[in-house]
Amino acid sequence: MIVFLMKRKRKKTLEKKTIIEIYTDGSILKNPGGFGGYAAILLRDNKKRQVVGSEPDTTNNRMELRAVIAGLTVIKKPCSVKIYTDSKYVMNGIRKWIGGWKKRKWKNSQGKPVANKDLWLLLDRLCNYHDTYWQWVKGHSGDKWNEAVDKLAGKAARDGAEEYE
């Protein structure tokens, strides 16, 4: 998937206009190297849209990243987006680590190449296109939309594995 986006200035605070909320999750049958699934649920003005997908021979972290990318990619016009994830990897990566990775030419703090660089580059572009705001949610804690997206991602992994066999 190739996505071309124009850069735009990011605003510091959420505007009072309509905000799209995205709940995301990734799932894997065997980590690493198993069949994985990802899902995003987009919510706006009492409307819901689901995006799901799967991949063979992957990792849970890749599926978590794919879920966010899939959700952001279907939004065609720049807007304010609040992203909910239960992945500390995604949260830390986008909020804490990515700046250092860029300064170190995509090397981690140990000097090794950043894992999943291809997806981080794409996510970074999407986050610069939209005004993104991040919220971590504890997985399996009763949050309605987090539970729903968890089920979709798990089903995508299982369905993908069945089709692949």
Q: Is 159 a catalytic residue?
A: no
Looking at 45, 140, 142, 165, which residue is catalytic?
Answer: 140
- Are the beta carbons of 124 and 79 closer than 8 angstroms? no
Would residue 130 show up in a list of annotated catalytic residues for this protein?
Answer: no
Task: Please pick, among 37, 55, 93, 150, the residue that the annotation labels catalytic.
Answer: 150
Q: For every residue of 39-103, which 3-state class applies, written as one string?
A: EEEEEECCEEEEEEEEEEEECHHHHHHHHHHHHHHCCCCCCEEEEEECCHHHHHHHHHHHHHHHH
Reported as type and span, the H/E element at residue 151 is helix 144-164
Specify the DSSP class assigned to residue 25. Answer: E
Examine the residue annotation and report whether 118 is marked as an active-site residue of this protein.
no
Alpha helices in 98-143 (DSSP H): 98-103, 117-129
Catalytic residue among 36, 86, 93, 130: 86
H/E element, 161: helix 144-164
- Report yes or no: 156 and 54 within 8 Å, Cβ to Cβ: yes
Is 163 assigned a catalytic role?
Answer: no
What are the residue numbers of the active site? 25-26, 64, 86, 140, 150
